């Protein structure tokens, strides 16, 4: 595997991990803010008490699912693009210097 291909693979996978983390964090943070809001209402007596577990468990599950969909999808799309570019680069191009040297041997 060429160094540039390995670098591209690593960067796409790293980008997928970063996207997963951002999506997961967003879902958990949104649920935490909603919990604080509802707990404040409960403290004022304007709403029934709410448990942190009943708010955060679904948010964590949703964050894992959405993060995996977005981050995994992005990583797979990047890997497919690398494979496509590799095939496109090697097929149908005119022979270069290296190709001519290989033919002479």
Domain ranges for the chain: 15-87
- Please write the tens of the pLDDT for every residue from 9-59: 899 999 999 999 999 999 999 999 999 999 999 999 999 999 999 999 999
- Please write the tens of the pLDDT for every residue from 75-103: 999 999 988 887 765 555 555 566 555 55
* Distant-in-sequence contacts of 60-69, Cβ < 8 A, 24+ apart: 60/27, 60/28, 60/31, 62/27, 63/23, 63/24, 63/25, 63/26, 63/27, 63/28, 64/24, 66/23, 66/24, 66/27, 67/19, 67/20, 67/21, 67/22, 67/23, 67/24, 67/27, 68/20
- Please write the tens of the pLDDT for every residue from 54-81: 999 999 999 999 999 999 999 999 999 9
């Amino acid at each position: 595997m060429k160094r540039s291909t390995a670098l591209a693979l690593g960067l796409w996978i790293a980008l997928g991990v970063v996207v997963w983390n951002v999506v997961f964090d967003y879902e958990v943070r949104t649920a935490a803010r909603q919990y604080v809001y509802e707990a404040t209402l409960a403290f004022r007596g304007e709403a029934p008490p709410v448990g942190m577990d009943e708010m955060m468990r679904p948010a964590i599950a949703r964050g894992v699912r959405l993060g995996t969909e977005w981050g995994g999808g992005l990583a797979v799309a990047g890997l497919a693009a690398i494979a496509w570019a590799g095939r496109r680069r090697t097929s149908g191009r005119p022979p270069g210097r290296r190709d001519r040297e290989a033919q002479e041997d």
